[in-house]
Amino acid sequence: MGRVDMQLSTAEVWELTPAQYARLWARQQIAEYRQDVRAAGIIAAIINVNRRKGVPITPVDIVGRPPGLQDKLKDKFARIIGDN
């Protein structure tokens, strides 16, 4: 994964600590999600142009939310309203 997906050399992969590797992997996943959202934007535009009525489709409707975002939002909301 590190060599191909993150374009690292073998030496660079072995020099990473597990925490560094996890952060790099998370950044890679975010970058891939952004690319998916861009492509879904084109698809949503095509679908919305050809619809008659209704709520427009968004790119997030097509690709979904990034993994873990719902949990983060629930935790943040719980902290705001004090349900910890």
Write the pLDDT tens digit of every residue in 14-54.
888 888 888 888 888 888 888 999 999 999 999 999 888 88
Radius of gyration of the chain (CA): 18
Has residue 4 been placed in a domain?
A: no
Has residue 2 been placed in a domain?
A: no
Residue 20 makes CB contacts below 8 A (sequence gap 6+) with none
Domain count, the chain: 1
pTM: 0.65
Domain range for 15: 10-81
Has residue 18 been placed in a domain?
A: yes
Has residue 32 been placed in a domain?
A: yes
Has residue 23 been placed in a domain?
A: yes
Has residue 19 been placed in a domain?
A: yes
Instruction: State how far the Cα of 57 lies from the Cα of 4, in Å rounded to an integer.
Output: 34
